[in-house]
């Protein structure tokens, strides 16, 4: 997780350690979900809310 201006960037890794999905969530959502660095999570995607960007 990376905190940027009240928004948390949550990054997922694939089983082989390569980059997977990333999502911006609010600090309140991170608190509600009890997210912390290194914690395993599952992503659920709502198709209308998806933006695809080139990898950094």
Average pLDDT value for residue range 38-45 = 84
Contact 43, 7 (CB under 8 A): no
Name, in order, each residue with C-beta under 8 angstroms of 46's C-beta and a sequence gap of 6 or more.
Answer: none
Q: What is the chain's mean pLDDT, rounded?
A: 81
Reply yes or no on whether the pLDDT at 5 is more than 80. no
- CA separation for the pair 19, 6 (Å, rounded): 23
Here the tokens at position 16 are 């082989």
Query: What's this model's pTM, rounded to 2 decimal places?
Result: 0.59
Here the tokens at position 2 are 């990376």
């Amino acid at each position: 997780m990376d905190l940027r201006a009240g928004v948390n960037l949550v990054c997922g890794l694939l089983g082989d350690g390569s980059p997977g999905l990333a999502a911006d969530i609010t600090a309140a959502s991170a608190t509600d979900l009890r997210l912390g660095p290194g914690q395993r999570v599952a992503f659920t995607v709502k198709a209308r809310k998806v933006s695809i960007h080139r990898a950094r």
